[in-house]
Amino acid sequence: YALHSASLVALPLIRPALYHKAQVRIRPWLLITMGLMSVASMLYLSVVTIAHDIGKQQSLPLEQRGIAIWQLLLVWVAFGSALYGIARWEGHRSGFDYDGQLTKDWTA
């Protein structure tokens, strides 16, 4: 969710053409403000959740500890990144032009 919010912040700055194609265009300053509030909220929620889990894990005996939230997060980030890398590699190997397709989709 934090990454989705960060993309909301970046949209009018990084991809103004895509921003102008939106059916509902919120003013850029308001879009950026709402996106930054959302990013901050998600980061705060994540830090509090992970800190609580670390404290809970440390209070348990070693044999009762399971996988911690931050460890699970690392596993899913690695797994998702590997899938993304494989898909990009296969696309590149088959000759798919990602930048050309993005440009074509934005201008259509």
Inter-residue contact 18 to 11 (CB < 8 Å): yes
78-82, 90-94, 102-106: range with lowest mean pLDDT: 102-106
User: With bands split at pLDDT 50, 70 and 90, how would you rate the model's confidence at 74?
Assistant: very high
Q: What is the mean pLDDT of residues 24-38?
A: 92
Averaged pLDDT score across all residues of the chain: 88
Distances (CA, A) of 70 to 13, 21, 37, 55, 79: 32, 38, 23, 12, 14
Q: Is 95 left (phi over 0), alpha (psi -120 to 50) or beta?
A: left
- Amino acid type, 18: L
Dist CA 4 CA 12 (whole Å): 14
Among residues 76, 39, 68, 64, the alpha carbon closest in space to that of 52 is found at 68
